[in-house]
Chains A and B, each alone.
Chain A
Amino acid sequence: MQFMLLFSRQGKLRLQKWYVPLSDKEKKKITRELVQTVLARKPKMCSFLEWRDLKIVYKRYASLYFCCAIEDQDNELITLEIIHRYVELLDKYFGSVCELDIIFNFEKAYFILDEFLLGGEVQETSKKNVLKAIEQADLLQEVKKVIFKNKSFVT
């Protein structure tokens, strides 16, 4: 995987993870183009598209789009399930996760992603193992975290 982007229906970037070296300018350009392309697509369209020489796999959960760029030989369907597993991990950790959780606890979203995917490859697919690593860290944390209880976007 080359990168993963999370953005809202309004096109606001909520999380970005880049697994290939790119300049800030390129990242911004890619993000802008891709957000535009994906938001322009209709709901029933397929989740894959060709974009430059990459394959884009995306899925919408409530107000958030999860969008991954993979290479030519990579498997689209399993990438779709990478997205879903990540959503499940967020959901389990935050308890009915919503966009606000990711905005205000962005660091947790990044930590969970790092446990799940590293260098663009799946590192650990077991939900238990990923969350064990994160919760261990939370035990050490001094401050209580604030979680916004809103509507869940896991369907």
Chain B
Amino acid sequence: MAKSGSSGTGGRGKGHSKSKEAEIKRINKELANIRSKFKGDKALDGYSKKKYVCKLLFIFLLGHDIDFGHMEAVNLLSSNKYTEKQIGYLFISVLVNSNSELIRLINNAIKNDLASRNPTFMCLALHCIANVGSREMGEAFAADIPRILVAGDSMDSVKQSAALCLLRLYKASPDLVPMGEWTARVVHLLNDQHMGVVTAAVSLITCLCKKNPDDFKTCISLAVSRLSRIVSSASTDLQDYTYYFVPAPWLSVKLLRLLQCYPPPEDAAVKGRLVECLETVLNKAQEPPKSKKVQHSNAKNAILFETISLIIHYDSEPNLLVRACNQLGQFLQHRETNLRYLALESMCTLASSEFSHEAVKTHIDTVINALKTERDVSVRQRAADLLYAMCDRSNAKQIVSEMLRYLETADYAIREEIVLKVAILAEKYAVDYSWYVDTILNLIRIAGDYVSEEVWYRVLQIVTNRDDVQGYAAKTVFEALQAPACHENMVKVGGYILGEFGNLIAGDPRSSPPVQFSLLHSKFHLCSVATRALLLSTYIKFINLFPETKATIQGVLRAGSQLRNADVELQQRAVEYLTLSSVASTDVLATVLEEMPPFPERESSILAKLKRKKGPGAGSALDDGRRDPSSNDINGGVEPTPSTVSTPSPSADLLGLRAAPPPAAPPASSGAGNLLVDVFSDGPAAQPSLGPTPEEAFLSELEPPAPESPMALLADPAPAADPGPEDIGPPIPEADELLNKFVCKNNGVLFENQLLQIGVKSEFRQNLGRMYLFYGNKTSVQFQNFSPTVVHPGDLQTHILPLAVQTKRVAAQVDGGAQVQQVLNIECLRDFLTPPLLSVRFRYGGAPQSLTLKLPVTINKFFQPTEMAAQDFFQRWKQLSLPQQEAQKIFKANHPMDAEVTKAKLLGFGSALLDNVDPNPENFVGAGIIQTKALQVGCLLRLEPNAQAQMYRLTLRTSKEPVSRHLCELLAQQF
């Protein structure tokens, strides 16, 4: 870039991008300089080598990629000068990659330094191992480091580094660290004179003893006596290890952590000493602070919180637990937000101890207040967690109602979790189930969007299983449904419950069967397919429950909108239910449509969901031991049964909506269908595996496109904007990548997976284009309801469509192995940035498939190349000198930098290539006009490759600002 000159590139982007660009420019210059120094004939002295390696590191840390200099850094490792070695090690630590050749050299240098007996060199080598921590290093050194750690003549600083270095290696690959007689000596480091050595050693022991508790058991008494000495020491005894009047806070916390790896000490004397320590810490918390600095109180409280953790871990000293709880209670109202947060967090664990549960409960009002008034969402979250943990039968109603109230204003991020918690508490502590039903319906009302399937399935399950609440539930949902706008989840619950138990309220004329039906049916048209399917099942149940509604309901089922519904599931239900209601006798109806049998008692699936959300331990307050991890789904027992579809069994099917297979599906296809849905969802991974057809072969099979094929003549032209963009799914993740392949070419395979291949052939002239899309069915099974549609989202603000796209319908069936063709006529009305979307939907083996791609129509397709002489070019270039008319990008080459390929791409992009314009023959210059119906946009472009840096600079100038930027982005991705 440095060499590419700046003639004619004045007036580039302002502000941030300019300084960023300047930085990149400077850095590239510097990198080139360093590279030439390293490559130069003259051998560099150590100082210069260090200087340049350090510069490379600096550049890397600024966020740029560095791909050289490793060798020079490795050379520095063997320097005798400390600072050179140090920089070498730093570079390796930050930038090491698994280049095996290099690792061997690095390991060699480390080995030399470890053997050097020079403590500073040894420490550097140990730091490097600890920082890299790779398996290769483990293999080379894991056996040596224990020896260094316990050697009598190792300096203290070396021991410290060795201990933590070993810890890192052990964490990365525990199998490489051999246990042996050194472990006993490591434990005795707890007695070391040097506090720093103890500090490092405790961390190592804490980690090692988790896997081998018996081997390290002696550490308990040593840790207790060390802790006791620290806790009882005066604040000045430990000199530099005292931190703001708190003696050795880090070491104290680590020792308390170590003790949490073990149960309470068995030895009475040790235990007595430890309890004394813990009491001392609790006592000190009540003393006036020795300093007003926050560091003092933080260090002191860090020890206090760790002490409380240990007390909770032991869970055996009621006296200490209650004291801990009281202490935390004080913190709940502390003015420091940090302490309030930690107190809420710590109290959560106290709540699960039988000794302190009651003590925690006394703080309920403070916690509720925190939920209402804390300004920081993370603190409110802790308060909600604590309320959940302290909830029991005695306070459930209060807590649930507070959480419901909070839900109305809760942050969106935590709403779902709160919903789950409320649902669990309401179920677990329900004394009367009408309260439970009210609570869940309230949840749906307040936060319907966050009520997951698990929650509303569960309420149905419970209502079905408890006949004492069924009448109340029917009455309540009936009332809830009367709200003018109610959430779809409410319709689902209401539909199900009325279908089962609507008869229990039918005696009241205000909720007579026809009223119930018309209430439900008034919501029908606003609901999604799944809900509508559920409602159809409710209707057929109504025919059984209330024979007087039969005629009305049959009328609804018979309506064209049901019998000819585009959705197969709805159509099938309507057809079958209608036939069932006309053919079957009352007895048969009553048997088929009988009330649902009770569900087997299982763990609440909601609890399982909360656990998945929060990780293990989240539901601990509610673990009753009746857990069945295999059942996450209330409907786990309801399997799809493809063979018995002709006899509809809504009683088995009602909740298994998604699993119902279509009538025409061949046996076993429903499994395959599911598989294919998966295939669609991870398209690119599955793409090449099955029968990849080379692009050329595919295209050569195409028939020459006939502009008006007979089929197309018969079909009416469908307006492009037929289905609104909201009906179309988002483009598949790789849509942009696929689109990029077509920026510089017009023909090829746009998309391919195991089922479907889409080929494109297109031509553009002026502002018009014609595109042929070829859809190939790669399977041996017919695709049904095949419907590709094109929509253009257009400009959302102006609602002006920049493109007019006319499509012809294609046949709705595509036979296995066959190909259909679709013709698109495209007119560019004005400039545009986003390409139209192509949405393809069909059913394969009964499973609906859908896929949205970006149609390869980009603004450059409407380029008209323009030849001009150098003089004209420069004149126009200067005319377009406003900053907003120019767009520029500097980017790394993603493909080999071949001039011929570049030329072909630029021509494919659509502009003319102008020779003899740029003084530098390596550069490319192009010109063209974008033709739209409304206006023409003149475009000039210049592409400057820099082979040495493997970079390009691309500059576009057009008369329209968004066009410059857009063309620049499109083209920059091509090299």
**Interfacial residues, chain A to chain B (CB-CB below 8 A):** 13, 15-16, 19, 21, 42, 44-50, 53, 73, 75-78, 80-82, 84-85, 106-107, 110-111, 114, 118-129, 133, 136-137, 140-143
Contact = CB atoms under 8 A, between A and B. Distances in A.
Contacts of B81: 140, 142
A75 B252 CA distance: 12
Interface of B: 47, 54, 57-58, 61, 63, 81-83, 86-87, 90, 94, 120, 123, 127, 130-131, 133-134, 157, 160-161, 164-165, 167-168, 171-172, 195-196, 199-200, 203, 240-241, 243, 248-251, 253-254, 257, 260, 295, 298-299, 301-302, 305-306, 309, 337-338, 340-342, 375-376, 378-379, 381, 615
Contact of A84 (B61, B123, B295): B295
Contacts of B127: 114, 118
Q: Which 8 A-B residue pairs are closest in the complex by CB-CB distance?
A: A119-B168, A77-B302, A78-B302, A118-B164, A46-B337, A121-B203, A126-B240, A45-B376
A28 to B, nearest CB: 8
B302 A49 contact: no
Given A19-B168, A81-B249, A128-B240, A46 B133 contact: no
24 contacts: A19-B168, A45-B337, A46-B341, A46-B376, A46-B378, A50-B378, A73-B260, A75-B305, A76-B338, A77-B298, A77-B338, A82-B250, A106-B61, A107-B54, A118-B161, A119-B131, A119-B133, A121-B200, A125-B251, A129-B157, A137-B82, A140-B82, A141-B82, A142-B81
A133 B123 contact: yes
A29 B249 CA distance: 34
Given A118-B127, A137-B83, A48 B305 contact: no
Given A137-B86, A140-B83, 4 more contacts: A75-B302, A77-B299, A119-B165, A143-B47
Contacts of A137: 82-83, 86, 120
B253 A110 contact: no
Contacts of A85: 243
A123 B61 CA distance: 25
A71 to B, nearest CB: 11
Given A46-B376, A125-B243, A118 B248 contact: no
A23 B512 CA distance: 65
Nearest to B161: A118
Contacts of A80: 298, 302, 338
Given A46-B337, A84-B295, A137-B83, A121 B167 contact: yes
Contacts of B376: 42, 44-46
Contact of A124 (B54, B61, B160): B160
Nearest to B300: A77
Nearest to A129: B196
B88 to A, nearest CB: 11
A138 B157 CA distance: 17
Nearest to A137: B82
B208 to A, nearest CB: 13
Given A75-B305, A129-B240, A110 B160 contact: no
Contacts of A119: 130-131, 133, 164-165, 167-168, 171
B160 A123 contact: yes
Contact of A13 (B63, B248, B375): B63
A21 B173 CA distance: 12
Nearest to A110: B90
Contacts of B171: 119
A110 B131 CA distance: 11
Tell me if A's interface is mostly helix, strand, loop or mixed. Answer: mixed
Contact of B196 (A73, A106, A126): A126
A123 B161 contact: yes
Contacts, number: 159
Contact of B90 (A77, A107, A124): A107
Contacts of B299: 77-78, 81
B343 to A, nearest CB: 11
A48 B376 CA distance: 11
A77 B342 CA distance: 9
B302 A81 contact: yes
Contacts of B615: 53
Contacts of A123: 160-161, 164, 196, 199-200
A89 to B, nearest CB: 12
B379 A46 contact: yes
Contact of A78 (B123, B200, B253): B253
A118 B127 CA distance: 7
B125 to A, nearest CB: 12
Contacts of B199: 122-125
A45 B305 CA distance: 20
A53 B86 CA distance: 35
Contacts of B379: 46
Nearest to B46: A142
A45 B90 contact: no
Contacts of B375: 42, 44-45
A124 B243 CA distance: 13
B342 A48 contact: yes
Contacts of A118: 127, 130, 160-161, 164-165, 168, 200
A143 B82 CA distance: 13
B379 to A, nearest CB: 6
Contacts of B295: 81, 84
A107 B92 CA distance: 13
B116 to A, nearest CB: 15
Given A75-B305, A75-B306, A118-B165, A81 B298 contact: yes
A13 to B, nearest CB: 7
Contacts of A129: 157, 196, 240
A101 B167 CA distance: 31
B257 A73 contact: yes
A84 to B, nearest CB: 6
Nearest to A14: B61
Nearest to B254: A122
A80 B94 CA distance: 25
Contacts of B94: 110
A43 B122 CA distance: 43
B83 A136 contact: no
A126 B167 contact: no
B339 to A, nearest CB: 9
Q: Which of A19, A76, A78, A82 has the most CB of B within 10 A?
A: A78
Nearest to B47: A142
B340 to A, nearest CB: 7
B338 A48 contact: yes
B157 A50 contact: no
Nearest to A55: B345
A37 to B, nearest CB: 11
Contacts of B167: 119, 121
A110 B130 CA distance: 14
Nearest to A141: B83
Given A78-B250, A126-B195, A140-B82, A46 B241 contact: no
Contact of A77 (B87, B172, B301, B378): B301
A45 B377 CA distance: 9
A125 B157 contact: no
A111 B86 contact: yes
Contact of B338 (A47, A106, A107, A124): A47
Contacts of A15: 61
Contacts of A76: 302, 305, 338, 342
Contacts of A124: 157, 160, 196, 199-200
Contacts of B87: 107
B63 A122 contact: no
Contacts of A77: 298-299, 301-302, 305, 338, 342
B253 A106 contact: no
A92 to B, nearest CB: 12
Contacts of B254: 122
A13 B299 CA distance: 28
Contacts of B196: 123-126, 129
A142 B250 CA distance: 36
Contacts of A140: 81-83
Contacts of A81: 243, 249-250, 295, 298-299, 302
